[in-house]
Structure 1
Amino acid sequence: MYIYNLSEINDISTDWLRSHLRQVLDEVSFHGTRYAVLRRGKPIAGIVPVSEARALYEASRVDRRYRDIERDLRRQDEDRLRHAVAEMGEQALRKVAGLR
């Protein structure tokens, strides 16, 4: 079970990361510190403890699986509706043809 880390995410530049990589990895590993890596002031990556990364990965897998199931159910409903509308249209055409 994952215990949520609600500490802030520290911003670091790519240059600072390059020169202090060992220190950053030690802080992440031993203290659970999290970093957002910035390039020209824009976030490009995150450095988090591996347990947090795995928890995020699992959560996204479950979310994708749920979306896939939901999409398949919606597609089945649309197919059933199309078939029902087509059947009603055929029945209406038969009635019109029978009346004339």
Structure 2
Amino acid sequence: MIKFSKILLVCLTFTFASLSFAESAGGNDPNANVNQVDERIDINHADIKTLSLLKGIGMKKAAAIVKYRNENGKFISVEDLLNVTGIGEQILALNKSKLTI
């Protein structure tokens, strides 16, 4: 019985170690795509999920961007994001190089 317990423990250890490695390799990291994106994100067409991948912008701020866009029309410049509640100079500076209209 002790031998079986040791084998089971070893199997579980390898299973969890494999899962941990997959996560650290970017398997489930929602921000992994932002760092690897070669294309810019069009703030006039991006959905909430895509916008939420940007630095400092979670689901709530992404929803606020889409709501602002729906209520006020398309953004004329990337700097117009500053009109969205919760988006300030720092967030804009972090993401400006990744954004387009």
Please classify the TM superposition score into its range, dividing by the shorter chain length: 0.3 to 0.5
Larger radius of gyration: 1
Give the number of the structure whose residues are more often strand, by fraction: 1
